[in-house]
Structure 1
Amino acid sequence: DNKVLFIERKGNVKLYDPIKKSTNIIAVIPVSTKYKSRQGKISEAEDGLLGIVTDPDFDKNHWLYLYYSAAGDDAKNVLVRYDYINDRLVESSKKVMLEVPVQREQCCHTGGKMDFDKDKNLYLTTGDNTSSKATGYSPADEREGRSPWDAQGTSANTNDLRGKILRIHPEADGTYTVPEGNLFPKGTAKARPEIYVMGIRNPYSIFFDKHSGYLYWGEVGPDAGRDSVNKGPRSYDEYNRTNKPGFFGWPYFGANNIAYHKVDFSTGISQGLHNPDKPLNTSPNNTGLNELPPAKKAFIWYSYNQSDEFPVLGTGGRSAMVGPVYHSDDHVTSSNRLPDYYNNKLFIFEWLRDWIITVTLDNNGNYQSMERFLPGMHFSHPMDLKFGPGGDIFVLEYGKGWFSQNNDAQLVRISYNAGNRKPNVVAQADKTTGGLPLRVNFSSTGTEDFDKDDLIYKWVVTTPTGIKMPLKGENPTYTFLKKGVYKAVLTVTDTKGASSVKMLVVKAGNQSPIVNIVVTGNQSYYFPGKPVAYKASMRDKEDGIIPGGKLSASKLKVSITQTGFDDENNSKPGHQYGAESFTEGKALMLKSDCKACHDDSRKIIGPAYKSIAEKYKDEPANVEKLSAKVISGGNGVWGEMNMSAHPQMAKNDAKAIVRYILNIASANTIPENLSPTGIYTPAAKDGILTIKAAYTDKGIPGIPPAYTEAVYRLNSPVLPASGGELNGDFQVYGKSRGKSAVFVKKAGNINFKDIDLTEVIGFTFNVSTPGKTIGGRIEVRLNSADGQLLGTANISQGLERSNIDVVLPKLLNGRQNICLVFNGSDTNEGFFYIDTVTLRAK
């Protein structure tokens, strides 16, 4: 039925219904997501609900398997089977099939992905459960009390289930048996028979190709940025595959069996290289065999730098994820199946680099070549990729922030549409309202045909009485001489007869008012406790002006709000928004069927308009999204009832209605209308100061009143460090005012462009130097990394989060480009962390 089950780390099991277009939580699994160090420090990491898969005979037995970090003091990950009936997990059917003991002192690496082979054997990945903080090379710390830093006790331990791919056969009673053909025969001393693959670090994705018998997985590697003569190779991520059990090297080898040194962590001295032909595990944390199977090389490997062997993979951060091998025979009856060109190609993708690549294999499954798939499509940290039963590609995107509720997290379906494609039509006008005569320049710029067919353009304007007037050319101009509401329709047809249509609505006869806001002082930022002087004004051809005319100043609705940051969706500061004009939406709404389901302040079938206004801010993205929903219909946001579609409604009218509804929120922000001219003193908090001024004119007979709103936004003077242009070796992570903090590893710089420095006397840097970071220096320069030096801040070692000030030698009014240059001693430990840059006013 094309429903999609997916999970969230904190325990939610969710179901997307493509018919209802709704997503619902069908179960909440109690999970552990925290680590607690021996010192009592609690941290959030990768544990939680980790994997989900349906049984091969799901249509008959309705079995669903989950792998998760069990809640409670007993540190273990569990494989659990449930019955899944009528879109619900049957709690009483829960059967714990397998337990994997873990440590919860130090993060990370969980694995948890599952798949079945053609014999209905279940493959389960488990991570090495080992901290990578002590070294970016081989974590093999054998000192007493350091077992969470020693992957020899997990990945290289034949008697431990961590750092493995397990192969078991689920039985009807909720137990499992071990099939023949795993790495260690049943009864082998100091070896778990469930192990199929060992010696892996963070196998975060898996796929079993039932056609070829090959198992594929993506393995996220360590963090070292360069080779070390005493420790071993730089870090590599790997795409691996096998059709036989084996040892894949971790923590002794990386990539194509490049050996790490055996290091004495008490002295830092190398004791020689590990031997891939005869690897030995002599760690005191090892409870298994000392002699391990010969190490197998990676299938595809790559580091931060450009790969000589696989250059298509690119450069930068790494998180290797493997998808399925595509087989045309699996989707013979589907009209959306991919072209046969993709038959037998492996799909791989990258969580950090945000690409999907197809790998061409020969008849024996060996590597031949690779190429980007949909290189023009943007993905936001793709987390999983599968083919649906109809051949559609489903991609689960995590979103840009780490450990965050990301606005760009989403489930995407990609369908291949064969044959001729309709033109993609863009219809625009330089104005859609105004007084007579109203000269409108129509444009089809941006219209394209993806098959490169020649196109025929046809513009038709329909008068209020229904008379159709064809216009000539792709971008015609028309002058409206009579008042009324007109429709301008652009039809674009290709040479094969496929056509697409777009409509604009033009309301001629009423000149829209012009509303303006002027702010004195800094044009981009407000400073807590420092008064902001503003002046709002309005000019309307028919009604007059405010202030200074006959109209009451109260007719110009002025409001000021101060709100917190909204993650990544802040508007650019120091800019006047919404100075465009649009026809009052209330009249359009009253003429439609909206009132059958909605009321201003009370819920009928749908939500009250005030509830909608409180949920969604009056911002362009929301206007676009909600107006599309008015036209297409929707479900799931406010309950189970569907919202009726309005395909006949012009997009302009839908937007006008949405703007009217969302403006209800602004009307309730301040109990009384402010004076057009005044002073406002912001509170001492971060966020956005929004000044709005709006005017609705009196209209003219036959034409609804026109409404114009101007919005001026000032941000607090706190700049997230990651908000600038980063040039250098940085690691971006965490959240700070909706943005990410920056770990400065080596010399580099961050550019902040068009920063208004009016009244600014200096900067405050929020920095820290935890762990082994050594500190460094921040130079504030004008325009570029080698520009005029404005000041210097020295960052010492051992700093908890602290504020370091720099005073400017003189005032620099207006917008400037500021470059922060970072310097320090060359080290593998990094310089410092920088969270925010705050402007300080006189």
Structure 2
Amino acid sequence: MLHWISTPFRGFTLSLCFSVLATTVAVGEPVDPSRFEKSTIAGNLVQPMELDIAPDGRIFLIELAGVLKRIDPKSGDVDVIGKLEVTTAQENGLIGLALDPHFAENNWVYLQYSPPDFPGQRISRFTIVDDQLDLQSEKRLFSYEEQRRECCHHAGSLEFGPDGNLYIGTGDNTNPFNDSQGYAPLDERADREPWDAQRTAGNTKSYNGKVLRIHPEPDGTYTIPDGNLFPKDGSIGHPEIYVMGCRNPWRINIDSRTGYLYWGDVGPDAGRDGDRGPRGYDEVNQARVAGNFGWPYFIGNNQAYSIVDFVTGTVGASQDPAAPINDSVNNAGAKNLPPANPAMIYYPAATSEIFPEVGSGGRTACAGPVCYFDESNPSTTKFPAAYDRTLFAYEWSRHWIIAVHLDQDSNVQQLERFMPETTFVRPIDLQFDAEGALFVIEYGETWGVNPDARLVRIDYVRGNRAPVAAASVQNSVGREPIETHFSAEGSFDKDGDPLSYRWTATRSSATESSNGQTEQRELIGSQARFTHQFADAGVYTIELEVRDPAGATSVTSLPVIVGNSRPEVEFLRPHDGDFFTPGQPVGFSLVVRDHEDGTSDFDEAEEREIDPIDSAAATRLFVEAVPVASGEDAAAENVPAGLALIRKSDCLNCHAANRLLVGPAFVEIAKKYKDQPHQLELSIKRVIEGSTGVWGKVAMLPHSQHTPSEVQQMVEYVFSVSPDSANPSAQGFNNSLIPAGKTDQIRLEATYTDRGRDDIPKLSATGVVMLRSRQLQAESAAEIKGARPLGSSKAEGGKFVGAIEHDGFLRFDKIPLDQVGSITVRVASAGAGGDIEIRRGSVTGDLLGGTPVEVNGDWEAFYEKTIKLTESDARDALYVVFKNAEKRGGLMNLDSLRFEPRR
């Protein structure tokens, strides 16, 4: 969804894609793709859906659960300014957003949402008063009903055109599963209305499966603009309909100059052509005038689906796109429909011969803004002239953005992968601001809540660019003297210029001079690679500065700790990959070795004549059971965004939630700064720039690799930690603990903190083993190919693995084969059925067992089958391989697997 914020209409500024010089740019300027740079503006987003940009640059963004946020693109500050009560069942929620064309004067915002007390969608106008959404100001502009008995396709997208008309995307509200087999859902049987898209997308008297067009009036009502698909008297169809024959047009956009409508339409699931018609295609469409775009009778370039009798299974003739007819018993509108228009761009899951630039894989097509080059705009972030008259289409499932270059008549001229070396993690909305920078919402890895959901900005940077400093070190911790190897070979200059290097070391901690000041920085190297010997104990901050010939610099830093060796922690039991039983104790046995402290293995201590680590060390050894989401859900694990960033950084080397390591516990930090809001900004500064003396002599290194927005999320998480934030834990070298909650997998972490040495700080080390329940959800597999996780209230974990193809497989790693005698699978099929094979080591490895999966006529009526396995020892990957060489697609659904012990 892309909107404009011009005066009087947004379309005349924001959808313009400008070039990037501070002064006039020549139209013939060559484009260097490496000059497009991506930066994070805001994180900590929860299922973000759409954004719009105000004339003053403020960004407004909605989240599915009903939240409206305002974001300052310069500071990254994110504020919640309103919340609507919505239902989020199926795909409902707060799904559409548009600022009024005169937002600067009236502060009106339009929202498309799913009220809990109304079976459908509502489009209302609200006023923002004192920077808050005034719920009492609601003007209910328009609403349309839907069925909520079955899923799917609620779409949801709002967009203003240059003439002040409001466009509304609506889905066909039809269940695509079961007997439709991934083709057109044309089920006319009694009580099967939710499976018949003829009742919605093909129905002139339904608002579903359409793009509607209305003109909002100042009093909160609307009028019908000229040029919609049907007469204003409603005699043939609803007068609000501009485009019909859509399946799920969930992202729409309007060309600010031509007024042409663009939208991405998500297609059906069929993986191959069949007697019912063509395989599934996604579409990027263009409507210059009102029209019918074919669904559910046609897809792609008007490839026709056959009319199917769902009672007898008889496959009939297909329709003529020039004169489609809706004869469905569920049709409330006209029988004779307008001619069907072919898609502008269309592609299947497989590689497209016509549009090879789109690649292959999952499909969720979206349409973004059309760029126009403005040579007079002085912005330093605008795109080059080569992107004049270019539509930006994007793919939520394939993680890409494609530049669709249009000719002077708005016909497709060329497709070009935009920033091909960059992955956009499920882009869900795009918009240009007044300065020509492209803002992208990255939804994150899964349909659920993602810690990596964020708003990013794309700039085109001209002139000399600063180099990027990257430092690595080997042998950075140990007893003195230590010989440490440094490398800057990861550093680079974006312009290809040669770099000079400056390595310096500052010793802190116990090495303070008599006047209390830290020792001066010492030059230790000027090469990309070198070795340096540290003879004196201390904590050293190593700083690498790289410089290009123009004087632009970049700095990074890393620590070297001399005088104390890092301990080693090893699990003697359990082993990585072992099974555990939820709710039952998990016993463990550990050994710890440390150069200074000794070893917990008394026999080893006696043999090597080193100190034994006695039982008092148990207070320095903590074992935690951490629930783990895996497979596709790993990225959607319900983890705060700040914690996710902390885990990716080096914070946990020095800090734990509620116990002292090298640095203070998070709970102590939170306690100290409770009710001191000013400390948030100070802490962010300390994390980025580094600090010492706040919690002791040991310095905290700078973390300039993180953006202020990222550090803010990290610090906000630390400030939120409470004493009850820890996972189940135990102490000692031999003990047990009971994992909390219900989870397929746990990570058993044993962390030992040594005593330190004199003034050299304590060091910690962690041993880890992954344990799994014998009852595993199919979607928790380490790898899924030729299938994908899907949601269902009837599945054990709320999900199952479906859309299974021939030769698809799941991979489960490190299975202790000597602990498994059989596997019970929970399956269902209303499609082709097939066979399941259990193979060791690879998809073609040793066959340990298998079973046929019969068609039971219901995709979600799961039943169990047990597969006896050939006895095998050791640990290895197990592959669950799906077979049906004849049908090849739509084989079965797999909900879970139970690894039964040997009898």
Contact 1:69–1:77 under 8 Å retained in 2: yes
Partner of 2:555: 501
Partner of 2:48: none
Change (3 A) 1:436 1:627: farther
Aligned-residue offset at 1:835:
3.1
Does residue 731 of the first structure (1) align with residue 817 of the second (2)?
no
Change (3 A) 1:329 1:823: same
Does residue 785 of the first structure (1) align with residue 847 of the second (2)?
no
SS in 1 for 2:490: coil
Partner of 1:605: 676
User: For 1:431 and 1:583, how far apart are their aligned partners in 2?
Assistant: 18
Q: Which amino acid aligns with 2:805?
A: K
The aligned length equals 786
Does residue 568 of the first structure (1) align with residue 568 of the second (2)?
no
Partner of 2:622: 559
Contact 1:441–1:478 under 8 Å retained in 2: yes
Change (3 A) 1:627 1:430: farther
Partner of 1:150: 196
Q: Which of the numbers 477, 481, 487 marks the counterpart of 1:433?
A: 477
Partner of 1:835: 895
User: For 1:129 and 1:581, how far apart are their aligned partners in 2?
Assistant: 47
Contact 1:767–1:832 under 8 Å retained in 2: no
Partner of 2:127: 83
Partner of 2:217: 171
Deviations 1:763-792 (A, max 9, x none): 43442215x245443222222333222122
Does residue 182 of the first structure (1) align with residue 238 of the second (2)?
no
SS in 1 for 2:805: strand
Deviations 1:731-754 (A, max 9, x none): 322388989631163322425365
Contact 1:398–1:410 under 8 Å retained in 2: yes
Deviations 1:545-575 (A, max 9, x none): 445436532124223333433451699xxxx
SS in 1 for 2:82: strand
Contact 1:746–1:826 under 8 Å retained in 2: no
Does residue 478 of the first structure (1) align with residue 532 of the second (2)?
yes
Deviations 1:3-25 (A, max 9, x none): 32222223222233345534333
Does residue 23 of the first structure (1) align with residue 82 of the second (2)?
no
User: For 1:417 and 1:738, how far apart are their aligned partners in 2?
Assistant: 46
Does residue 141 of the first structure (1) align with residue 195 of the second (2)?
no
User: For 2:366 and 2:105, how far apart are their aligned partners in 1?
Assistant: 31
Q: Which amino acid aligns with 1:495?
A: P
Aligned-residue offset at 1:480:
1.4
The correspondence of residues 231-310 of structure 1 with structure 2, limited to 5 A, is: 231-310=276-355
The correspondence of residues 123-522 of structure 1 with structure 2, limited to 5 A, is: 123-133=167-177, 134-135=179-180, 136-187=182-233, 189-229=235-275, 231-329=276-374, 332-402=377-447, 404-462=448-506, 465-466=519-520, 468-508=522-562, 510-520=563-573, 522=575
Q: Which moved more, 1:759-768 or 1:720-729?
A: 720-729
Aligned-residue offset at 1:802:
4.7
Aligned-residue offset at 1:299:
0.7
Contact 1:749–1:821 under 8 Å retained in 2: yes
The correspondence of residues 688-703 of structure 1 with structure 2, limited to 5 A, is: 688-700=746-758, 703=759
Aligned-residue offset at 1:453:
1.6
Q: Which amino acid aligns with 2:286?
A: R
Deviations 1:770-823 (A, max 9, x none): 5x245443222222333222122344443844554444432412x323222223
User: For 2:104 and 2:194, how far apart are their aligned partners in 1?
Assistant: 42
User: For 1:336 and 1:731, how far apart are their aligned partners in 2?
Assistant: 39
Partner of 1:712: 768
Aligned-residue offset at 1:493:
1.5
More strand by share: 1
Q: Which amino acid aligns with 2:67?
A: N
User: For 1:53 and 1:579, how far apart are their aligned partners in 2?
Assistant: 41
Q: Which amino acid aligns with 2:772?
A: S
Q: Which amino acid aligns with 2:802?
A: F
SS in 2 for 1:631: helix
User: For 2:366 and 2:718, how far apart are their aligned partners in 1?
Assistant: 45
Partner of 2:38: none
Aligned-residue offset at 1:457:
1.9
User: For 2:173 and 2:722, how far apart are their aligned partners in 1?
Assistant: 52
Partner of 2:47: none
SS in 2 for 1:821: strand
User: For 2:728 and 2:280, how far apart are their aligned partners in 1?
Assistant: 56
User: For 1:382 and 1:2, how far apart are their aligned partners in 2?
Assistant: 21
SS in 2 for 1:476: strand
Contact 1:351–1:382 under 8 Å retained in 2: yes
SS in 2 for 1:60: helix
Partner of 1:95: 139
The correspondence of residues 645-724 of structure 1 with structure 2, limited to 5 A, is: 650-651=701-702, 673-674=731-732, 676-678=733-735, 686=743, 687-700=745-758, 703-718=759-774, 719-724=776-781
Aligned-residue offset at 1:838:
4.2
Change (3 A) 1:525 1:59: same
Q: Which moved more, 1:306-315 or 1:388-397?
A: 388-397
User: For 2:158 and 2:728, how far apart are their aligned partners in 1?
Assistant: 54
Change (3 A) 1:251 1:599: closer
> Any unmatched runs of 5+ in structure 1?
34-43, 572-576, 613-625, 635-642
User: For 1:301 and 1:669, how far apart are their aligned partners in 2?
Assistant: 49
Aligned-residue offset at 1:250:
1.6
Contact 2:669–2:718 under 8 Å retained in 1: no
Partner of 1:640: none
Change (3 A) 1:23 1:551: same
Change (3 A) 1:800 1:419: same
Change (3 A) 1:454 1:738: farther
Partner of 1:810: 871
Contact 2:623–2:731 under 8 Å retained in 1: no
Aligned-residue offset at 1:423:
1.3
Q: Which amino acid aligns with 2:623?
A: I
Contact 1:516–1:579 under 8 Å retained in 2: no
The correspondence of residues 608-647 of structure 1 with structure 2, limited to 5 A, is: 630-632=686-688
Aligned-residue offset at 1:405:
1.6
User: For 2:838 and 2:612, how far apart are their aligned partners in 1?
Assistant: 52
Aligned-residue offset at 1:92:
2.0
Aligned-residue offset at 1:113:
0.9
Q: Which amino acid aligns with 1:177?
A: T
User: For 2:157 and 2:76, how far apart are their aligned partners in 1?
Assistant: 27
Deviations 1:108-157 (A, max 9, x none): 22232111121111111222222222413222333444332332232222
Deviations 1:42-85 (A, max 9, x none): xx31222221101100001111111122322x423221111112
Q: Which moved more, 1:245-254 or 1:138-147?
A: 138-147
User: For 1:369 and 1:759, how far apart are their aligned partners in 2?
Assistant: 57
Contact 1:75–1:101 under 8 Å retained in 2: yes
Aligned-residue offset at 1:301:
1.0
User: For 1:242 and 1:210, how far apart are their aligned partners in 2?
Assistant: 14
User: For 1:359 and 1:285, how far apart are their aligned partners in 2?
Assistant: 38
User: For 1:53 and 1:479, how far apart are their aligned partners in 2?
Assistant: 62
Contact 1:334–1:390 under 8 Å retained in 2: yes
Does residue 747 of the first structure (1) align with residue 806 of the second (2)?
yes
User: For 1:360 and 1:578, how far apart are their aligned partners in 2?
Assistant: 40
Does residue 525 of the first structure (1) align with residue 578 of the second (2)?
yes
Q: Which of the numbers 803, 823, 831 marks the counterpart of 2:883?
A: 823
SS in 2 for 1:490: strand
**Bigger relative CO (Cα 8 Å, ≥ 6 apart):** 2
Aligned-residue offset at 1:828:
7.8
